A and B are shown apart, each in its own frame.
Chain A
Amino acid sequence: MNTMQNGTPIIRVEHVYKAWGAFTALNDVSISFNEGEVVCIIGPSGSGKSTLLRTINRLERQNAGRIVVDGIELDDDLKHIDAVRTEVGMVFQSFNLFSHMTVLDNITLAPRRVRKWSADKARQVALELLERVGLSAHAQKYPSQLSGGQQQRVAIARALAMQPKIMLFDEPTSALDPEMVNEVLLVMRDLAESGMTMLIVTHEMGFAREVADRVIFFDHGCIVEESSDPQQFFSNPTHPRAQAFLKQIKHAA
């Protein structure tokens, strides 16, 4: 689906380990992601998918291992962390829109504060993005006045306003009513086609199959299967855990 792939790793994850007490979320995970690549990360709950995403912009600190994003090493230097975060947009399962701000203010805040754009420029970019996600009419509303699907689309626009090189999606449709899933997936598909580097933790297998350049299957903190042929992976996974997982999902659907 994607043509921008040029083989340069923009994210390198090397031997990353993360645990909370006795629970190991990431167990010696090593993987790299290329510029322009759309990667879907799937697997059962608690397998470490979201934790991997959250270590990539340091919402979680890894206990061991190295993470390098766009040439910047994520160590304990706050400058490095903030630099990575400006280049990496994140979309959360629960949207996390700033509830005391209008849609427009949600989107313009970070570009004005971090990128130091003028109010007019930030506003212009925000309105363009709102048009792109189909919400031009809602710029002056508050998040609580929007549906879940609309809120998530605003959240995507908010992340895009920083003009990130990479977008992380942490189960972006899991908290949505079924009839609102599609409107969000449409925006994401559009984004994938534009050549954005995207890491998507999702349970939407149909979407993953269609959009992903690569699929990663997580289990118990490890990547147990990785495939750059999603069609092949979904119809015929090799690892038994992946087989069982996909089978169960098919039954549910």
Chain B
Amino acid sequence: MGARRLVEDMIHKLKDRDSLILVGSVMGLGLILWLMALPLATLPAPIGPAAAQFSAGALTTIELTLWASVFGLVLGILAALGKRSHIPPARWVADLYVWVIRGTPLLLQILFFFLAVPAIAPQLQLSEFWTAVIALSLNVGAYNAEVIRAGINAVPTGQVEAARSLGLSLVYTFWDIVLPQAVRISLPPLANNMVALLKDSSLAYAIGVVELSMVSSRVQAESFQPVPVFMTVAAIYLLLTTTFTQFAAALERKLAVGKR
């Protein structure tokens, strides 16, 4: 009985427009990445012959973005909690982290993780891709921390009092009451950070990750035709960021249900 109700409930929820956009944009992103090479291959040189490269580059860009988004969200929540902690060392670590990351260029951070960290500790040598993921995660995490902290502060104290008065522990109060509402409040700026991250992932090019910008640079260098190459890459970036913003906007409207 419970399972059936759950399925009916899900079908009911999926019927509204925002859910369709949510599902649609995820599937759309998959389709774009999967089928992008087909239309690109029909274009004249220098784009057509490099279609597979563009497609692979876009996939790498998205992989970088999604991994760094997930880690960055976790880091952002942890750092936001650290900044609000009653334990001074936790506050110091979180403040230091946000201060350093936001005060230095991302390109420098990527190079640091690629060149300086292995120089200090050779056993920490990772592939270019995972080095980029770590640097991007730490970067977006610091920006997310401020956004999530503001979101937590914006949850009315009455919500916490109600939860605590029902006997819910601090952990459940945070997980069930504060975090969902904080994320809902933080969603527009968080989505902004994700879109910025997608574009910033192009800096992974500096350490040799073969993502979209690296592909454009290579194809341009082989063909000496910067105009069609960079136009194509810009169009692909726009397509990706638009899909992301559509997803975020639909999610925002969806989570706004029940908002006061």
Q: Which of B165, B172, B257, B259 contacts A57 (CB 8 A)?
A: B165
The interface-forming segment of A28-36, A90-98, A234-242 is A90-98
Within the complex, the shortest CB–CB distance from A25 to chain B, in Å, comes to 16
Which residues 92-113 of A have a CB within 8 angstroms of B? Answer: 92, 94, 96-102, 109-110, 113
- Which A residue's beta carbon lies closest to that of B175? A113
Q: Are B165 and A85 closer than 8 Å at their CB atoms? A: yes
Q: Size range of the interface on A?
A: 20 to 34
Q: Does B163 lie at the interface of the complex (its beta carbon under 8 Å from any beta carbon of A)?
A: yes
Q: Does A59 lie at the interface of the complex (its beta carbon under 8 Å from any beta carbon of B)?
A: yes
Q: Which residues of B contact A99 (CB under 8 A)?
A: 159, 181, 258-260
Q: Which residues of A contact B169 (CB under 8 A)?
A: 82, 113-114
Q: Are B258 and A142 closer than 8 Å at their CB atoms? A: yes
Q: Does B177 lie at the interface of the complex (its beta carbon under 8 Å from any beta carbon of A)?
A: yes
Q: Which residues of B contact A142 (CB under 8 A)?
A: 257-258
Q: Which residues of A contact B168 (CB under 8 A)?
A: 109-110, 113-114
- Which B residue's beta carbon lies closest to that of A82? B167
Within the complex, the shortest CB–CB distance from A163 to chain B, in Å, comes to 11
- Which A residue's beta carbon lies closest to that of B257? A142
Within the complex, the shortest CB–CB distance from B177 to chain A, in Å, comes to 6
Within the complex, the shortest CB–CB distance from A221 to chain B, in Å, comes to 21
Which residues 241-260 of B have a CB within 8 angstroms of A? Answer: 255, 257-260
Q: State A97–B184 Cα separation when bound (angstroms).
A: 16
Q: State A121–B257 Cα separation when bound (angstroms).
A: 26
Q: Which residues of B contact A159 (CB under 8 A)?
A: 165-166
Interface set of B (CB-CB < 8 Å, partner A) = 2, 156, 158-159, 161-169, 172, 176-177, 180-181, 184, 255, 257-260
Q: Which residues of B contact A102 (CB under 8 A)?
A: 258
Q: Are A86 and B167 closer than 8 Å at their CB atoms? A: yes
Q: A96-B159, A99-B181, A143-B258 are in contact. Are A85 and B2 (CB under 8 A)?
A: no
Q: Are A98 and B163 closer than 8 Å at their CB atoms? A: yes
Within the complex, the shortest CB–CB distance from B160 to chain A, in Å, comes to 9
Q: State A101–B179 Cα separation when bound (angstroms).
A: 13
Q: State A54–B25 Cα separation when bound (angstroms).
A: 48
Q: Which residues of B contact A94 (CB under 8 A)?
A: 158
Q: State A85–B162 Cα separation when bound (angstroms).
A: 10
Q: Does A144 lie at the interface of the complex (its beta carbon under 8 Å from any beta carbon of B)?
A: yes
For the complex of A and B, 7 pairs with smallest distance between CB atoms: A142-B258, A86-B167, A96-B162, A110-B166, A96-B158, A90-B165, A85-B167
Q: State A82–B169 Cα separation when bound (angstroms).
A: 7
Q: Which residues of B contact A114 (CB under 8 A)?
A: 166-169, 172
Q: A96-B158, A144-B258 are in contact. Are A119 and B2 (CB under 8 A)?
A: yes
- Which B residue's beta carbon lies closest to that of A142? B258
Q: A110-B166, A119-B2 are in contact. Are A100 and B161 (CB under 8 A)?
A: no
Q: Which of B162, B184, B258, B259 contacts A92 (CB 8 A)?
A: B162
Q: Does A212 lie at the interface of the complex (its beta carbon under 8 Å from any beta carbon of B)?
A: no
Within the complex, the shortest CB–CB distance from A150 to chain B, in Å, comes to 14
Q: Does A162 lie at the interface of the complex (its beta carbon under 8 Å from any beta carbon of B)?
A: yes
Q: State A97–B255 Cα separation when bound (angstroms).
A: 17
Q: State A190–B245 Cα separation when bound (angstroms).
A: 51
30 contacts between A and B (CB under 8 A): A57-B165, A82-B167, A82-B169, A83-B167, A85-B164, A85-B165, A86-B166, A89-B166, A92-B161, A96-B158, A96-B159, A96-B161, A96-B162, A98-B176, A99-B159, A99-B181, A99-B258, A100-B258, A109-B166, A110-B166, A110-B167, A113-B168, A113-B169, A113-B176, A114-B169, A120-B2, A144-B258, A159-B165, A159-B166, A162-B167
Which residues 159-174 of A have a CB within 8 angstroms of B? Answer: 159, 162
Q: Does A158 lie at the interface of the complex (its beta carbon under 8 Å from any beta carbon of B)?
A: yes
Q: Are A98 and B161 closer than 8 Å at their CB atoms? A: no
Q: State A131–B159 Cα separation when bound (angstroms).
A: 25
Within the complex, the shortest CB–CB distance from B12 to chain A, in Å, comes to 10
Q: State A45–B181 Cα separation when bound (angstroms).
A: 31
Q: Are B177 and A98 closer than 8 Å at their CB atoms? A: yes
Q: Are A144 and B158 closer than 8 Å at their CB atoms? A: no
Q: Are B167 and A97 closer than 8 Å at their CB atoms? A: no
Q: State A88–B168 Cα separation when bound (angstroms).
A: 12
- Which B residue's beta carbon lies closest to that of A110? B166
